[in-house]
Amino acid sequence: MGYKAKFRVWRGEGGEGQLEDFTVEVNEGEVVLDVIHRLQATQVPDLAVRWNCKAGKCGSCSMEINGRPRLGCMTRMSTFEETETITVTPMRTFPVIKDLVCDVSFNYQKAREIPSFTPPKDVKPGEYRMQQIDVERSQEFRKCIECFMCNNVCHVIRDHDENKPAFAGPRFLMRIAELDMHPYDELDRKESAQEEHGLGYCNITKCCTEVCPEHIKITDNALIPMKERVVDRKYDPLVWLGSKIFKRSGV
């Protein structure tokens, strides 16, 4: 049942490198990560690849397979023709440490820049009372496995490295949306979403949504709703007037 597949894998350190060709055995039921592991075991012992769960849940094995951001452990070999050459490269947006392993610290830095959940001072842990419908929207975003493929595919930084300081990427703009929608979060995150985390850079072209292995509707359910909240705060004179007259908040 097995066959020999043609693989073309990026090898190199710190950006320098090249695509190298290999022929590797493939058995029924295998995924790309299995084949990369076989390559490592039989031909290139120093091939660097990051992985952990092999179940699509740890978000370690993000790579680009035939040019598309994918989880290596969730991409079945049966989706390719046996004669096809399969190209595997590291994520393009982040610095390469070695071979398929990227330095994803950009993402950790962006995560730290977002103020954490801020509940009212007089509510103690254990005293939160929320109805399911109030937290449902945020829960979708909690499915994130932090594979960072959305940040990797987003053209704002993928094609324009210079935008990195100004743009948190879909993963963390979604985090802001999650907190802004949270019934117990007291910080107002609309102004900073736009001014500090670069929500305005997103042009809602939905590539983050297309690659998310958890099928989170990042654009429709986080980014666009957040853009609308920003409009309330910054660009809609009627809402601004209404908030002055009725002094409503925390609705």
* Interface pick for ligand FES out of 39, 71, 114, 174 (rule CB under 6 A): 71
- Which residue type, as a one-letter code, is found at position 61? C
Residue 155 phi, psi dihedral angles, 5° rounding: -65, -20
Within positions 117 to 136, which residues make up the interface with another protein, using CB under 8 A?
131, 133-134, 136
Q: Please tell me whether residue 182 binds another protein under the rule CB under 8 A.
A: yes
Q: Tokens 């072209």 sit at which residue?
A: 205
- HEC string of 183-230? CCCCCCCHHHHHHCCCHHHCCCCCHHHHHCCCCCCHHHHHHHHHHHHH
Question: Using CB atoms within 10 A of its CB, is residue 136 exposed (0-12), middle (13-18) or buried (19+)?
Answer: exposed
Q: Please tell me whether residue 198 binds ligand FES under the rule CB under 6 A.
A: no
Judged by CB under 8 A, the stretch of 20-28, 33-41, 64-72, 118-126 that binds another protein is 64-72
**Separation of alpha carbons 240 and 182, rounded Å:** 22
DSSP code, position 91? -
Judged by CB under 6 A, the stretch of 7-15, 82-90, 204-212, 230-238 that binds ligand SF4 is 204-212
Judged by CB under 6 A, the stretch of 47-55, 103-111, 125-133, 239-247 that binds ligand FES is 47-55
The nearest distance, CB 216 to another protein, in angstroms, is: 14
Within positions 155 to 184, which residues make up the interface with ligand SF4, using CB under 6 A?
156, 170-171
Say how many CA atoms lie within 13 Å of 234 toward its Cβ.
16
Structure tokens that stand for 173 in this block: 């703009």
Binding site for another protein (CB under 8 A): 10, 12-17, 64, 66-69, 84, 87, 89-90, 92-97, 103, 106, 131, 133-134, 136, 153, 155-156, 158-164, 180-183, 185, 198, 200-207, 210-211, 220, 224-225, 227-232, 234-236, 250-251
Binding site for ligand SF4 (CB under 6 A): 59, 144-150, 153-154, 156, 170-171, 202-208, 211-214, 216, 218-219, 223
